Amino acid sequence: MSRMSEPDIFVVADNIFSPFGKTTAENFSQLKNNISGVKQHNDKMLSPTPFFASLFDKDEVFIDEANNYTKFEQLLIASITDALKDNSIDPKNKKTVLIISSTKGNISLLETEVNSTELQKRISMSTSARLVAEHFGFQNQPVVISNACISGVMAIITGMRMLRMGQYENAVICGADVISKFIVSGFQSFQALSNEICRPFDRSRNGLNLGEGAATVILSTNKKFEGNIKVKGGSISNDANHISGPSRTGEELGHAIKQTMTDAKVSANEIDFISAHGTATVYNDEMEANAIGLAGLQSQPLNSLKGYYGHTLGAAGLIESVISIQSLKENLVISTLGFKELGVTSPVNVCTSPMRINAGNFLKTASGFGGCNAALVIGK
């Protein structure tokens, strides 16, 4: 199919299911009021020492038939249920595909269950995807995207590409992750966790906060959604630099951003704001700022939402994209919580307070372990 004949990809509906809101509207309202879900937790089941994160209450139940599903699967089901409400997208339609994004899925079961062949099968992401697909009656085999912290953005790009090819008419894309001892200890071993609410792009940033949550975006090529916000382009690259350390130059993420703008047929001055990955680790923010400069976007307003949600891993790219879609609708860019003074070599224009803006397009970036990078343009 030539680029000329590719269909537009419309955003039909979305949801964010987080510790401080169960709908997109609730979440956006909290962010407008500068309310963060991140606080100090002292849970010996997760960490021997206190740590900062955005977590659901321990005994919180997310759906009615909770006994049949793990916490991870409940989050996926709760988020998809809300996104499917009040629209005509039918999961049972053969033209609808389910895409699930996560970095860890049910890995926490290894901490609580006896290891067995059954458990190995139960923690497989394909098992969770099948259970969620069956819950809603999806007819097609679900697609699982698990590529470190770009998973959420990559899932949207995958959905966009499948719809462009005409393989499907609708894509229901959902990402979720829950925090376990395995995840906390992993980031502690990198000395990557901050002992306060994280400070993306700030001179005194010293690490990230973790977070739990889920988000869903529903895409369609159906012309009846014409006039809706569109997914315009996306691209993925890899640093091939180091398993846990990002590129030293930012060229590879910069390449993905440039490819994305070409794919979306927009120029740098048509990007009205950037939803950055902005983990608040020393190396990620430095690399990302370099990449943004290399793509000629250093003066565009930029935010990171990690101070509100923590790093929600496989849900991050989806949560942050949904908030940015809401920003397009309300012409309001959310501020970067925790940021005071620029602390990256290549200057970027970090939003320090909610910013009224006449926005047509935004760029979403993501980077992750293994050197993976992704970028996405969504616009009116």
R_g (Cα) of the chain, nearest Å: 19
Of the residues 200, 224, 248, which one is the last residue of a structural domain? 224
Rounded CA gap, 320 and 306, in Å?
Answer: 9
**Domain carrying residue 99:** 3-224
Q: Largest Cα–Cα distance of the chain, in whole Å?
A: 57
375, 296: one domain: yes
153, 240: one domain: no
Rounded CA gap, 32 and 332, in Å?
Answer: 9
CATH number, residue 244: 3.40.47.10
In the chain, the DSSP E strands lie at 10-17, 39-41, 51-54, 96-101, 143-145, 170-177, 210-211, 213-220, 230-238, 273-275, 301-303, 332-333, 349-350, 355-356, 361-368, 372-379
307, 282: one domain: yes
pLDDT at residue 242, rounded to an integer: 85
What residues have CB less than 8 Å from 324, skipping those under 6 apart? 273, 275, 362, 364, 378
Torsion, Cα 150 311 9 164, to 10 degrees, reads 20
Neighbouring C-beta atoms of residue 353, cutoff 10 Å: 9
Domain tally, the chain? 2
29, 146: one domain: yes
pLDDT at residue 2, rounded to an integer: 54
Backbone angles phi, psi at 89, to 5 degrees: -75, 125
190, 248: one domain: no
**293, 347 in Cβ contact below 8 A?**
yes
159, 288: one domain: no
Categorise residue 186: left if φ over 0, alpha if ψ from -120 to 50, beta otherwise: alpha
Backbone angles phi, psi at 194, to 5 degrees: -85, 150
209, 241: one domain: no
217, 275: one domain: no
237, 202: one domain: no
Of the residues 224, 253, 283, which one is the last residue of a structural domain? 224
Angle of helix 125-136 versus helix 71-84 axis, rounded to 10: 40
Q: pLDDT tens track of the chain, all 380 residues?
A: 555 689 999 999 999 999 999 999 999 999 999 999 999 999 999 999 999 999 999 989 999 988 899 999 999 999 999 999 999 999 999 999 999 999 999 999 999 999 999 999 999 999 999 999 999 999 999 999 999 999 999 999 999 999 999 999 999 999 999 999 999 999 999 999 999 999 999 999 999 999 999 999 999 999 999 999 999 999 999 998 888 888 889 999 999 999 999 999 999 999 999 999 999 999 999 999 999 999 999 999 999 999 999 999 999 999 999 999 999 999 999 999 999 999 999 999 999 999 999 999 999 999 999 999 999 999 99
pTM reported for the whole predicted model: 0.97
Rounded CA gap, 338 and 209, in Å?
Answer: 12
Of the residues 224, 242, 259, which one is the last residue of a structural domain? 224
Give the position of tokens 């994280």: 198
Rounded CA gap, 176 and 148, in Å?
Answer: 12
74, 218: one domain: yes
257, 161: one domain: no
**324, 362 in Cβ contact below 8 A?**
yes
46, 166: one domain: yes
